[in-house]
């Protein structure tokens, strides 16, 4: 599966969240990070090129900061220029996800909260686009108040973000464990022998944990 991240942000250098996420995508295989404002500093989105990008990938992710309960204008411009109902048959069967960064706490996005609507509700226009193109709509990946997160929270976020980008809808425990093992193997390659040995121990421990979890699940199934 190849993932295309269409990033819209007018000032990524000034955004610690975007810097953090962009660093997290650099080492990932089969992931194309496409930053619209960087690629088109003068505007003038190239319809044909963008349509080729969509055709070439299996999973499309919109990534943006929430500006007035939607994306920055550039991503809307991209939609207006690039999306084409004539491509529904060519493009069908892809996965479609949203990584949205909000400065307000998650609890405000609900009835009775300051923002009244859930993020799911606010993103309906994108869900309708996914529906139109017969794309599988992934659960929204929302990042709320990144600046207030502890370092440990940020690291956990990084893992979940990478899994969202690379696994999309295939996020069972087994899928995520396999992903972890693969990532550890990749990291291990560039390290010295002593570090490689430690990583091997971690991998063995993960493997043992997974087997134990599977045993527990088997026992649970027997009890039911």
Which stretches of the chain bind a second copy, using CB under 8 A? Answer: 43, 67-74, 76-77, 79-80, 83, 115-117, 121-122, 124-129, 131-132
Exposed / middle / buried, residue 175 (Cβ in 10 Å: 0-12, 13-18, 19+): middle
Please provide the size of the chain in residues.
Answer: 224
Of 95, 122, 126, 127, the closest CA to residue 106 belongs to 122
67 or 179, CB closer to a second copy? Answer: 67
121 or 175, CB closer to a second copy? Answer: 121
- In which residue are the tokens 């491509």 written? 87
Shortest Cβ 95–a second copy spacing (Å): 18
Exposed / middle / buried, residue 55 (Cβ in 10 Å: 0-12, 13-18, 19+): exposed
Shortest Cβ 83–a second copy spacing (Å): 6
Shortest Cβ 115–a second copy spacing (Å): 6
12 or 177, CB closer to a second copy? Answer: 12
Q: Which token pair is 119?
A: 């993020």
Shortest Cβ 113–a second copy spacing (Å): 11
């Amino acid at each position: 599966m190849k993932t295309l991240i269409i990033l819209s942000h007018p000032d990524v250098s000034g955004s610690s969240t975007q810097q953090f996420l962009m660093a997290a995508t650099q080492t990932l295989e089969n992931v194309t990070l496409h930053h619209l404002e960087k690629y088109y500093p003068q505007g003038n989105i190239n319809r044909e090129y963008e349509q080729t990008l969509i055709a070439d990938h299996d999973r499309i992710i919109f990534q943006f900061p929430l500006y007035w309960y939607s994306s920055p204008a550039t991503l809307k411009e991209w939609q207006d220029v690039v999306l084409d109902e004539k491509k529904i048959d060519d493009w069908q069967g892809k996965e479609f996800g949203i990584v949205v960064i909000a400065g307000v706490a998650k609890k405000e996005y609900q009835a009775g909260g300051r923002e009244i609507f859930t993020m799911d509700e606010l993103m309906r226009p994108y869900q309708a686009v996914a529906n139109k193109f017969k794309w599988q709509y992934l659960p929204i990946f929302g990042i709320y108040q990144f600046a207030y997160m502890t370092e440990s929270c940020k690291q956990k976020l990084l893992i979940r973000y990478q899994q969202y980008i690379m696994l999309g809808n295939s996020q069972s425990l087994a899928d995520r464990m396999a992903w972890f093992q693969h990532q550890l193997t990749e990291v291990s390659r560039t390290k010295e022998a002593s570090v490689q040995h430690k990583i091997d121990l971690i991998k063995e421990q993960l493997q043992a944990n997974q087997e134990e979890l599977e045993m527990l699940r088997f026992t649970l199934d027997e009890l039911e």
